[in-house]
């Protein structure tokens, strides 16, 4: 069964390796072409993520470097990889092709310059998260003790996302920021977050947040990172499915998807350790849910909630 994965950090690894990793088959990449093919991942989102320690005036350059790896290494050297520039491109994928699109994880690289954001839309960024864990000029992330919401700039960015039919991603955002986004965003998504009721971690969503996302027609894509799955002990695929079960109880059965976070996580769920093992999750899900429901989680829920 085809899978759509809303989050990976392969571009960061490609950039850090400075050209030494081949996207086709580098074993250092959880998300490489071979592994995507083996795991039947039909569409993969590639996050642009700039580490917080990079100096402010270098951050946009790093964004461009990662985009260059996306164009030259991911797409340029692998004819099966097809660039999804806009949502309708998803309908054009042929058998054997894998769609790839860009997302931005945190807007601090643009500073207060919305021109830079518009350029990123033009280059194909289809989902924008306002923050990573830290604060920036747009909003506070979950790791900022001030725990503030959106600034005026943050609100402008959400409105621009609406205008460009781009998702506003609430994973990593402070809770106050989340509620500000809920008021403004036409297309909210949590691209890689789990349930706080099942695993009490700052990166997860409360039941109220999950219900609000579902009521707004948004999506929650569950993440395979063990610390977000289980508070103690080793996390299994069944433990991850408990998050899906809980979001279903909250009314999200048609709005749940997958967001592995491969290449951004170091601890792994046994049997779900890189993109090639994606079908292990599907096989397990089919024990508890019918085929149409699992197809929903794997890809269809996302496809039926695209910005339009
Ligand atoms: Zn993340």
User: pLDDT of 227-264, one tens digit each?
Assistant: 999 999 999 999 999 999 999 999 999 999 999 999 99
Token pair belonging to 242: 């408990």
pLDDT tier, 116 (very low <50, low <70, confident <90, very high otherwise): very high
List beta partners, residue 83: 100
* Mean pLDDT, residues 182-208 taken together: 98
- What DSSP state is assigned to residue 204? S
CA 190 to ligand 1 center in whole angstroms: 10
CA 52 to ligand 1 center in whole angstroms: 12
* Mean pLDDT, residues 21-36 taken together: 98
Token pair belonging to 72: 């030259």
Contact 185, 162 (CB under 8 A): yes
* Mean pLDDT, residues 12-16 taken together: 98
CA 306 to ligand 1 center in whole angstroms: 21
> Which residues have C-beta within 8 Å of that of residue 87, sequence separation ≥ 6?
126, 165, 306, 307, 308
- The pLDDT score that the predictor gives to residue 174 is 98
- Measured N-to-C along each axis, helices 114-122 and 56-69 cross at an angle, to the nearest 10 degrees, of 10
User: pLDDT of 152-190, one tens digit each?
Assistant: 999 999 999 999 999 999 999 999 999 999 999 999 999
pLDDT tier, 284 (very low <50, low <70, confident <90, very high otherwise): very high
pLDDT tier, 11 (very low <50, low <70, confident <90, very high otherwise): very high
SS3 8: strand
CA 125 to ligand 1 center in whole angstroms: 16
- The pLDDT score that the predictor gives to residue 134 is 97
- The pLDDT score that the predictor gives to residue 100 is 98
Phi, psi of 76, rounded to the nearest 5 degrees: -65, -30
In the numeric block, the tokens 């408990």 are attached to 242
Token pair belonging to 194: 């789990």
Token pair belonging to 139: 């909003």
DSSP assignment of 160-174 equals: HHHHTT-EEE-TTB-
CA 171 to ligand 1 center in whole angstroms: 7
Judge residue 91's burial from the number of C-beta atoms within 10 Å of its C-beta, 0-12 exposed, 13-18 middle, 19 or more buried.
exposed
Mean pLDDT, rounded, of the chain:
98
CA 36 to ligand 1 center in whole angstroms: 20
CA 152 to ligand 1 center in whole angstroms: 24
CA 266 to ligand 1 center in whole angstroms: 13
> Which residues have C-beta within 8 Å of that of residue 234, sequence separation ≥ 6?
226, 270
Rounded distance between C-alpha atoms, residue 117 and residue 24, angstroms:
29
CA 230 to ligand 1 center in whole angstroms: 17
- The pLDDT score that the predictor gives to residue 264 is 98
Pairing between β-strand 219-222 and β-strand 98-105 as defined by DSSP bridges: unpaired
pLDDT tier, 12 (very low <50, low <70, confident <90, very high otherwise): very high
Contact 106, 114 (CB under 8 A): no
User: pLDDT of 62-102, one tens digit each?
Assistant: 999 999 999 999 999 999 999 999 999 999 999 999 999 99
* Mean pLDDT, residues 197-205 taken together: 98
- The pLDDT score that the predictor gives to residue 153 is 98
Residue from 61, 1, 6 nearest 31 by CA: 6
Taking the CB of residue 292, how many other CB atoms lie within 10 A of it?
8
Backbone dihedral region for residue 96 (phi beyond 0: left; psi -120 to 50: alpha; all else: beta): left
CA 191 to ligand 1 center in whole angstroms: 8
- The pLDDT score that the predictor gives to residue 263 is 98
Q: What percent of the chain has pLDDT over 90?
A: 100
SS3 65: helix
Residue 219: its H or E element: strand 219-222
Token pair belonging to 209: 């947040």
CA 106 to ligand 1 center in whole angstroms: 9
Rounded distance between C-alpha atoms, residue 59 and residue 150, angstroms:
21
CA 192 to ligand 1 center in whole angstroms: 7
- The pLDDT score that the predictor gives to residue 136 is 97
Contact 41, 32 (CB under 8 A): no
- The pLDDT score that the predictor gives to residue 131 is 98
- The pLDDT score that the predictor gives to residue 219 is 98
> Which residues have C-beta within 8 Å of that of residue 55, sequence separation ≥ 6?
none
CA 201 to ligand 1 center in whole angstroms: 14
Residue 222: its H or E element: strand 219-222
- The pLDDT score that the predictor gives to residue 186 is 98
Q: What percent of the chain has pLDDT over 70?
A: 100
- The pLDDT score that the predictor gives to residue 196 is 98
* Mean pLDDT, residues 3-14 taken together: 98
């Amino acid at each position: 069964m085809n899978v759509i994965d809303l989050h990976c950090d392969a571009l960061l690894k490609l950039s850090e390796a400075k050209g030494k990793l081949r996207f086709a088959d580098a074993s250092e990449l959880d998300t490489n072409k071979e592994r995507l093919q083996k795991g039947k991942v039909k569409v993969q989102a590639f996050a642009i993520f700039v580490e917080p320690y990079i100096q402010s005036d270098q951050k946009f350059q790093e964004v461009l470097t990662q985009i260059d790896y996306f164009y030259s290494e991911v797409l340029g050297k692998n004819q099966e990889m097809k660039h999804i520039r806009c949502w309708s491109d998803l309908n054009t994928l042929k058998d054997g092709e894998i769609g790839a699109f860009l997302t931005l994880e945190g807007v601090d690289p643009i500073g207060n310059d919305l021109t830079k954001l518009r350029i990123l839309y033009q280059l194909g960024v289809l989902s924008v998260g306002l923050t990573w864990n830290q604060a920036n000029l747009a909003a506070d992330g979950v790791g900022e003790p001030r725990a503030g919401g959106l600034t005026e700039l943050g609100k402008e960015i959400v409105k621009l996302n609406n205008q460009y039919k781009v998702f506003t991603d609430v994973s990593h955002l402070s809770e106050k920021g989340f509620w500000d986004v809920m008021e403004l965003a036409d297309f909210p998504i949590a691209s890689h977050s789990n349930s706080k009721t099942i695993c009490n971690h700052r990166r997860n969503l409360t039941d109220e947040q999950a219900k609000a996302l579902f009521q707004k027609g948004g999506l929650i894509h569950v993440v395979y990172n063990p610390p977000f799955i289980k508070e103690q002990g080793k996390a299994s695929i069944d433990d991850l499915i408990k998050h899906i079960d809980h979001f279903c109880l909250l009314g999200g059965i048609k709005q749940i998807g997958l967001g592995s976070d491969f290449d951004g996580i170091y601890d792994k769920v046994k049997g779900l350790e890189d993109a090639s093992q994606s079908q292990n999750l599907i096989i397990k899900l089919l024990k508890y849910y019918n085929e149409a429901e699992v197809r929903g989680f794997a890809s269809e829920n996302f496809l039926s909630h695209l910005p339009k």
